[in-house]
Structure 1
Amino acid sequence: MHNSALEIQIKTLPRSPGVYQYFDEEGTLIYVGKAKDIKKRVSSYFTKTHDSGKTRVLVKKIASIKHIVVATETDALLLENNLIKKNRPRYNVLLKDDKTYPWICIKKERFPRVFTTRRVIKDGSEYFGPYTSMKTVSTLLDLIKGLYPLRTCKYDLAADKISSGKYKVCLEYHLGNCKGACEGLETTESYDKNIVAIREILKGNFKDSLSQFRLQMKRFAENLQFEEAQKMKDKIAVLENYQAKSTIINPKISNVDVFSIVSDESFGYVNFLQISYGSIIRSHTLEIKKKLDETDKELLQLAITEIRQRFHSNSKEIYVPFKVDVGEDLKVTVPQLGDKKHILDLSIRNAKYYRMDRFKQIKITDPDRHTNRIMAQMKTDLRLHEEPRHIECFDNSNIQGTHPVAACVVFKNGKPSKKDYRHFNIKTVAGPDDFASMEEVVYRRYKRLLEEKESLPQLIIIDGGKGQLSSALKSLDALGLRGKIAIIGIAKRLEELFYPDDPIPLYLDKKSETLKIVQQLRNEAHRFGIEHHRNRRSKTALNTELESIAGIGEKTIVDLLKHFKSVKRISHAKLDELEAVIGVSRAEKIYNYYHST
């Protein structure tokens, strides 16, 4: 379709809430979006300058536009969600989840059974869930069965069949798990009272059951039925214990959905908690792959609609970390303090843990994706123009001014590349001058890389503050590399990151992966430098000690070290052992040196 035709389509769009659809030249649906004002939203795609390259590509591919007008924003949300799931457009985030979740069913029948299922059959039965964890379902069913005797058989317990004596009690009756409804030993009224109590427990309300058990315990005790009273007391203890573990906030907070989001360059992670009577009755985290650098707000709005549909939530209020547009029928609360803020923080913590678990899994199953994500995150965190696939870190090492050395460690794709590590013995600097030493090694390193036409790093890290960073910059200026390679300094005490010509340091989140990699580089450079410094001092110390013996030359020292492996063994060697290696005359000199008083 020609641009003029597309312009006409845009001009004739309605200023109403609804859904818009973008199609390419082949007529393939490539994007679905929702808006309060369709015309205003669609026009913005063609009038704004987009930061995201993906969005610019999408706009170039748009050949035609269709729209669907709806009555409210809520309808637009639902329609957008359904169209995305049905058509899976290329530039939309996909909310995929092929799991079938477990439910707890109270079967519509005389003497209803209570059991778990993954199939929802519309036969009038009640279904509670879906639950995201089978462990939660098992815990609830065990609790219910421990409190209330229920039948597990599939018999048709019609009144005429029971009265005719068609069924006989089974082992469950003799074990005390069932009261024998199949033989008419329990009335429907008594059984249905238990079902009412179970229904409330599944909703998160324990108050009625506890009151009933306490009343029964009191009656049994008054009638001196102490064994029955003890059973009631045990049930109260079980129920209170479960309530204590499941109730995490004020029980007055009920029928509320809590949503939070954490994200990185490629994915968003939305956590959902459903609260009933202060208890979490459902928890789920959704991973969403970004397609057009969507904001957290856009992802959260999409996920709220999807999750509430998926879990059949009818809560009238949601808690979220920031304002979202999810329709007029839903109350949106952004908690600032108290119990509401506590539960929102818990949701955020769940999202972060899920994200960390996914990282660990991806690191094993898809290392390339893990590396790409880390590199993209470092580019953003460190304000770089390109991903730091090749990083080099420098550190000086001298103790009391002796044997000054420097180390350069190299990381590629976020991992140590030990074959590229380099040591430097300081040649042009006298005494302990860290600034001049840093200037020397940086100059020598990159002068050589330029001469040998080797690839340069995207990032240089200097272990030190502003002084060392300034010294390294002098070398980059001298080589004409200023501005071609990003360079930062890291101060040890507060983990401050310094940038050239910027007096204000950058502080990264102490738990961020970017800071961990920078710290790993710094620590590795320090370790590598200290190791080299120690070796130089040891070598000098050994040579000095042996060379100080009159009449002992370099060749003799080499022969001795080859045979005895260390100076310590030479000093403890017997005279005849020394003679066998270097002859009588020199052996006596060394033996006398170590054994004279």
Structure 2
Amino acid sequence: MTKKADEREDEQYKELIKHKLSLLPDRPGCYLMKNEEGTIIYVGKAKVLKNRVRSYFSGSHDAKTQRLVMDIRDFEYIVTESNMESLILECNLIKQHLPHYNVRLKDDKTFPYIKVTNEEHPRLEVTRRVVKDKGKYFGPYPNAFAAQQTKRLLDKLYPLRKCRTLPDKVCLYYHLGQCLAPCAYEVTAAQNEALVNEIVRFLSGGHEAVKAELTEKMLAASEELEFERAKELRDLIQYIEVVMEKQKINMQDTVDRDVFGYSVDKGWMSVQIQYMRSGKLIERHVSLFPFYGEEYDDFISYVSQVYSENPAMPKEIFLPMPPVSDSHDNAAAESQMIDVEEIKHSLESWLNVKVQFPQRGLKKQIVDMAISNAKVALEEKFRLIERNEQRTTGASSSLGNWLGISDMSRIEAFDNSNIQGVDAVSAMVVFTDGKPDRKQYRKYKIRTVQGPDDYESMREVIRRRYERVLKENLPLPDLIIVDGGKGQISAALDVLENELGLYIPVCGLKKDEKHKTSQLLMGESASVVQLPRDSQEFYLLHRIQDEVHRFAITFHRQTRSKNMVTSQLDSISGIGEKRRKKLLQHFGSLKKIKEASVADFREVGIGDKLAAQILEALNEPKDEADQK
């Protein structure tokens, strides 16, 4: 498309947007932003559609919002009767269209829960799938190990059935006292209900009462000299303490609640959820993601997605207050309280759960702790990004400065692999801005070199690689790294400069006696570049050398293994290339061919006589074969 056509299309898009903005209503609703393919890339909600949607196309924006605006080519909107309707609609539209720029749940739905199934003979299980099936769910447990531990404890205490389908006879669980064996004995609904009620009591904070009961039984068993039974009960009590007592904060009530806190910085949002069960903080989970709308709107959108279609609800949700306006007048404060009441009413009406915005006391401290932890998680992310930047882009750029290469981005590295010249291969890896670009990796089987000649192998692979680069107009690297010393560097430079007319810096990497990266050699003279051994530049070279060696040796092993199979079958009279391929395709491996019967070969069109010859040849003992 020509520049004039682009400008004409741009003008048409601006006219369309301008016309549609003039028609926006002063009502609440949801808006759907689309790109040039008509794909929905962002869904938002607004109390006043006209004001919110217009804000995207006027004034200045930060870099992240500017990226969204640059992709917008059209929009639609849906008017709702209330803010609650717009909240529900937004959540459903995000789930339906999975817009690129929206906050979306990615892993929160996979938390494990402990479930008591709704069956004639209930079972206890750990599940990550929460559905409305009348089962009883407890959790979530962001720590999957804690969920499994708790289930194991409950299995010891309450003998619900364990098998998914009832077997014909009792199993080991019955003999261990962990199952009532409804497969063999009559178990009444009342017995099952009593066990389920005990499990519900235990998971709802009644484990202290269970501990007291077990302690009483332990003492009674000890008095009656049943020391083995007393020891079992003592071990159970200790297990309860280990599993259930790892709590950090207690509240005087025994309410199940989820406490939210969030923090934003540099276009990213961190949300911390603290799960309190029976008044105790048992787990916490943090999610980090870029956001593109108003921070508090996107936070509430995240909260609504956490709970939509989730039957395992807490009794209460604690949320932080919206950001305080810069203005200190009464009107601003009143407006903020109206926003809070609207959000509270919307969430409570939709989710059927109590929503609070604590502003004082211990409850406020718990919300503040969630906010503080969200902030720490975000700061940690930026530190990791900064560290990763130093290890990748920064290290690549700094390495370029050491070598006198300005603006170094793309590095291509080569390594050869063979055993005494047999099954010789070479491999190339690509690092872009200090990061491996695995889609650009290439493998080469050495074609022209006989025997273990590393220099000639390097010449062949460099020639084949850069002849193709020139022919297909592929991007040239800023630096070529070969595994080896002066000989490999000279071979590569000779092909590049004298045969192909390319002048690309070539370095060699030498290893020490422990096969670790030890020296960087530069140019045909192989002069040593004195990089500090503890520098990020040296670590980058070490990663590159390890990666290209791994890639080359893996390819060599695959080639050698394949050739071994091929040579064994090819040595059998009557087996050509077509039959060999048929056999491997049908049986899957040489091992399975060896284990087959004569009759199995009929399916691939091989007669009994030849089949017997194949089996005899493949299963012949190695020592006998050597003697022959």
Cα deviation, 1:313-365, whole Å, max 9, x if unaligned, reads 53464323433764512523144442541464156326624762785488459
Change (3 A) 1:148 1:89: closer
Counterparts of 2:370 and 2:66 in 1: how far apart (Å)? 38
The answer on 1:39 being equivalent to 2:42 is: no
- Corresponding letter in the other structure for 2:357: T
Cα deviation, 1:16-47, whole Å, max 9, x if unaligned, reads 3221123355534343211122223223334x
Determine helix, strand or coil for the equivalent of 2:56. helix
1:200 aligns with 201
Change (3 A) 1:311 1:267: farther
Change (3 A) 1:169 1:221: same
Kindly tell me the number of residue pairs found equivalent between the two proteins.
Answer: 364
Question: Larger C-alpha radius of gyration, 1 or 2?
Answer: 1
Change (3 A) 1:312 1:107: closer
Q: CA deviation at 1:57?
A: 6.2
Determine helix, strand or coil for the equivalent of 1:262. strand
Determine helix, strand or coil for the equivalent of 1:183. coil
Q: CA deviation at 1:252?
A: 0.8
- Corresponding letter in the other structure for 1:148: Y
Counterparts of 1:56 and 1:180 in 2: how far apart (Å)? 64
Q: 2:153 aligns with which of 131, 134, 143?
A: 143
Change (3 A) 1:3 1:346: closer
What is the correspondence of 1:319-358 to structure 2 with a 5 Å cutoff? Answer: 319-323=318-322, 326-328=343-345, 329=348, 331-338=355-362, 340-342=364-366, 344-345=368-369, 348-349=372-373, 352-353=376-377, 356=380
1:246 aligns with 247
Q: CA deviation at 1:192?
A: 2.5
Q: 1:10 aligns with which of 9, 21, 31?
A: 21
The answer on 1:156 being equivalent to 2:180 is: no
The answer on 1:128 being equivalent to 2:138 is: yes
Change (3 A) 1:169 1:207: same
1:74 aligns with 84
- Corresponding letter in the other structure for 1:29: I
**CA contact 2:103–2:302 (8 Å) conserved in 1:** no
Q: CA deviation at 1:309?
A: 3.1
1:305 aligns with 304
Counterparts of 2:24 and 2:261 in 1: how far apart (Å)? 34
1:29 aligns with 40
**CA contact 1:247–1:278 (8 Å) conserved in 2:** no
**CA contact 1:24–1:61 (8 Å) conserved in 2:** yes
Cα deviation, 1:147-173, whole Å, max 9, x if unaligned, reads 22333233438xxxxxxxxx4333223
- Corresponding letter in the other structure for 1:308: Y
1:256 aligns with 257
Determine helix, strand or coil for the equivalent of 1:269. strand
Cα deviation, 1:90-115, whole Å, max 9, x if unaligned, reads 54445434974433232222332212
Counterparts of 2:378 and 2:71 in 1: how far apart (Å)? 35
Determine helix, strand or coil for the equivalent of 1:258. strand
Q: CA deviation at 1:288?
A: 0.6
**CA contact 2:268–2:288 (8 Å) conserved in 1:** yes
Change (3 A) 1:367 1:87: farther
Change (3 A) 1:138 1:54: closer
- Corresponding letter in the other structure for 1:109: E
2:119 aligns with 109
Change (3 A) 1:195 1:320: same
Counterparts of 1:111 and 1:202 in 2: how far apart (Å)? 20
Change (3 A) 1:95 1:205: same
Change (3 A) 1:10 1:361: closer
Q: CA deviation at 1:253?
A: 5.2
Cα deviation, 1:390-448, whole Å, max 9, x if unaligned, reads xxxxxxxxxxxxxxxxxxxxxxx9xxxxxxxxxxxxxxxxxxxxxxxxxxxxxxxxxxx
**CA contact 2:261–2:367 (8 Å) conserved in 1:** no
Q: CA deviation at 1:204?
A: 4.4
* Identity, % of aligned positions: 30
Change (3 A) 1:85 1:107: closer
2:268 aligns with 267
Q: CA deviation at 1:53?
A: 4.5
Q: CA deviation at 1:205?
A: 4.6
Change (3 A) 1:185 1:200: same
- Corresponding letter in the other structure for 1:304: V
**CA contact 1:23–1:29 (8 Å) conserved in 2:** yes
Give me the TM-score of the superposition, normalised by structure 2. Answer: 0.48
- Corresponding letter in the other structure for 1:141: K
Q: CA deviation at 1:229?
A: 7.2
Q: CA deviation at 1:146?
A: 3.1
Counterparts of 1:130 and 1:229 in 2: how far apart (Å)? 33
Counterparts of 2:375 and 2:205 in 1: how far apart (Å)? 23
Cα deviation, 1:298-321, whole Å, max 9, x if unaligned, reads 442232222233865534643234
Cα deviation, 1:210-261, whole Å, max 9, x if unaligned, reads 5765776798899998876776666455435544323622141523221122
Q: Structure 2: any 5+ residue segments left out of the alignment?
A: 1-11, 324-339, 349-353, 397-406, 408-432, 434-628
Counterparts of 1:186 and 1:339 in 2: how far apart (Å)? 45
What is the correspondence of 1:52-451 to structure 2 with a 5 Å cutoff? Answer: 52-55=62-65, 58-59=68-69, 62-97=72-107, 100-119=110-129, 123-156=133-166, 167-184=168-185, 187-206=188-207, 209-210=210-211, 213=214, 235-236=236-237, 238-240=239-241, 242-246=243-247, 248-252=249-253, 254-290=255-291, 292=292, 296-309=295-308, 312=311, 314-315=313-314, 317-323=316-322, 326-328=343-345, 329=348, 331-338=355-362, 340-342=364-366, 344-345=368-369, 348-349=372-373, 352-353=376-377, 356=380, 359-360=383-384, 363=387, 367=391
Change (3 A) 1:44 1:144: same
Determine helix, strand or coil for the equivalent of 1:206. helix
Counterparts of 1:370 and 1:299 in 2: how far apart (Å)? 33
Q: CA deviation at 1:272?
A: 1.0
**CA contact 2:118–2:136 (8 Å) conserved in 1:** yes
Q: CA deviation at 1:77?
A: 2.5
- Corresponding letter in the other structure for 1:301: I
Change (3 A) 1:14 1:201: farther
**CA contact 2:103–2:289 (8 Å) conserved in 1:** yes
Change (3 A) 1:26 1:309: same
Change (3 A) 1:15 1:355: same
Counterparts of 2:191 and 2:197 in 1: how far apart (Å)? 10
Q: CA deviation at 1:286?
A: 1.1
**CA contact 2:259–2:370 (8 Å) conserved in 1:** no
Counterparts of 1:285 and 1:98 in 2: how far apart (Å)? 9
Counterparts of 1:124 and 1:279 in 2: how far apart (Å)? 26
**CA contact 1:251–1:279 (8 Å) conserved in 2:** no
Q: CA deviation at 1:285?
A: 1.4
Counterparts of 2:222 and 2:191 in 1: how far apart (Å)? 21
Q: CA deviation at 1:139?
A: 1.8
Change (3 A) 1:36 1:121: closer
- Corresponding letter in the other structure for 1:87: H
Counterparts of 1:371 and 1:13 in 2: how far apart (Å)? 51
Determine helix, strand or coil for the equivalent of 1:77. helix
Counterparts of 2:179 and 2:37 in 1: how far apart (Å)? 65
Counterparts of 1:128 and 1:314 in 2: how far apart (Å)? 9
Change (3 A) 1:259 1:220: same
Counterparts of 2:220 and 2:73 in 1: how far apart (Å)? 78
**CA contact 1:269–1:351 (8 Å) conserved in 2:** yes
Q: CA deviation at 1:201?
A: 3.0
